[in-house]
Amino acid sequence: MSTEYKTDESIIKDIIQHHVKPTNEEYTLSLIIYYKTKKTSQLLIKNKTTMKKPLLQEDHVIYKHTCKVEDCGPQTYIGRTRTTLLRRLTCHLLNGTIKN
């Protein structure tokens, strides 16, 4: 497991802390993240020489995004990112619209 999970965890925790509230104020939210290890069969080399990444795991991409979050829009923009598309969209949800 790479160290990127720590960054992902902190982003998720920030989103929950800033955007999620319990319906009853007497309760507090607690986030527990569990990881599942890979099975031995997943670690074996397969005959496929090329593995296609899922769309959200692609990096160095140009994308078109329509934001439907209340503060943003609906607003459509085209962007370029060096990180994975999933991380970029997560940061958008955390930080809001891209500032020029």
**Phi and psi (nearest 5°) for 93?**
-65, -35
Q: Which has more pLDDT, 1 or 23?
A: 23
Which pLDDT does position 97 carry in this prediction? 53
Cα separation, 48 vs 76, whole angstroms:
37
What is the torsion angle, in degrees rounded to the nearest 10, for the CA atoms of residue 7, residue 8, residue 10 and residue 14? 140
What is the torsion angle, in degrees rounded to the nearest 10, for the CA atoms of residue 43, residue 90, residue 75 and residue 80? -60
In this prediction, residues 58-86 reach a mean pLDDT of: 82
CA distances from 15 to 51, 58, 83, 90 (A): 31, 22, 19, 9
Q: Which has more pLDDT, 70 or 99?
A: 70
Which pLDDT does position 100 carry in this prediction? 46
Whether residue 99 is predicted with pLDDT greater than 60 in this model: the reply is no
> Tens digits of per-residue pLDDT, 4-56?
888 888 888 888 888 888 888 898 888 888 888 877 777 776 666 677 888 88
Whether residue 75 is predicted with pLDDT greater than 50 in this model: the reply is yes
Structure tokens at 93: 């949800």
pTM confidence score: 0.41
Whether residue 57 is predicted with pLDDT greater than 80 in this model: the reply is yes
